[in-house]
Chain A
Amino acid sequence: SQTIHQWPATLVQPVGSPLSLECTVEGTSNPNLYWYRQAAGRGLQLLFYSVGIGQISSEVPQNLSASRPQDRQFILSSKKLLLSDSGFYLCAWRRIGRTEAFFGQGTRLTVV
């Protein structure tokens, strides 16, 4: 069966510090991978998606970047965090085609 791992669950970082959130998927190959952010009380905002190794599409200009160094690994990064980067970050995967998406448990990031 397929599983998705996202860590850490919570993170408190100072303004200006770097960020690295990792997401890995097991039990499938060549998944579509997604990073979303959810600000407090708001909806899900698509940040990045990837259809293959090294292929990243950015949806919203921002202080973040994403990389996919391996088929089932998706990394969200920032060189210098801003207060506005605080939020609930979710990783998701789905097979190509009209298939459902599966989400990780999320990382709650607080920038102080």
Chain B
Amino acid sequence: DAKTTQPTSMDCAEGRAANLPCNHSTISGNEYVYWYRQIHSQGPQYIIHGLKNNETNEMASLIITEDRKSSTLILPHATLRDTAVYYCIAFLGTDKLIFGTGTRLQVFP
């Protein structure tokens, strides 16, 4: 699975959009991009995933660049409850599931 690079931390004002970037320049053609988040002292929670096309669900939107070397997770209206560590994973769908260090998002009032 391809390595991903994310900023260590980000801040976002409550009610504003949170845009979390992820670089995956070595991603292969059949690796999907997955996003999870981990709220303090809880297990990670799946958010969204995609291959080429942009994806949207009730939690977030995922924008993948045309060359697939990077992506952005968008939380359209961040709330205090969105404060968490966000993990971006390039996943082939094989057995191993490896997490990086993620981005710590702090939403402030």
Q: List residues of A whose CB falls within 8 A of some B CB.
A: 32, 34, 36, 42-44, 46, 49, 51, 57, 59, 88, 90, 92, 94, 97-106, 108
Contacts and interface: CB of A to CB of B under 8 A. Distances in A.
Nearest to B46: A100
Interface of B: 32, 34, 36, 38, 41-46, 49, 87, 91-93, 95-102
B24 to A, nearest CB: 15
Nearest to B97: A101
B46 A46 contact: no
B86 to A, nearest CB: 12
Contacts of A94: 97
21 contacts: A32-B95, A43-B100, A43-B101, A44-B38, A44-B44, A46-B97, A49-B97, A51-B95, A59-B96, A92-B44, A94-B97, A98-B49, A98-B91, A98-B92, A99-B93, A101-B36, A101-B44, A102-B46, A103-B44, A104-B43, A108-B41
The 10 residue pairs across chains A and B that have the minimum distance between CB atoms: A103-B43, A98-B93, A100-B46, A44-B99, A43-B101, A90-B43, A97-B93, A103-B44, A98-B32, A51-B95
Given A103-B43, A103-B44, 20 more contacts: A32-B95, A34-B97, A43-B100, A43-B102, A44-B44, A44-B99, A46-B96, A46-B99, A49-B97, A57-B95, A90-B43, A90-B44, A94-B97, A98-B49, A98-B93, A100-B46, A100-B49, A101-B44, A102-B46, A106-B43
Nearest to B89: A101
A104 B99 CA distance: 16
A108 B100 CA distance: 20
Contacts of A98: 32, 49, 91-93
A101 B41 CA distance: 17
Contacts of A101: 36, 44, 46, 97
A108 B40 CA distance: 12
Nearest to B48: A100
Contacts of B87: 44
Nearest to B93: A98
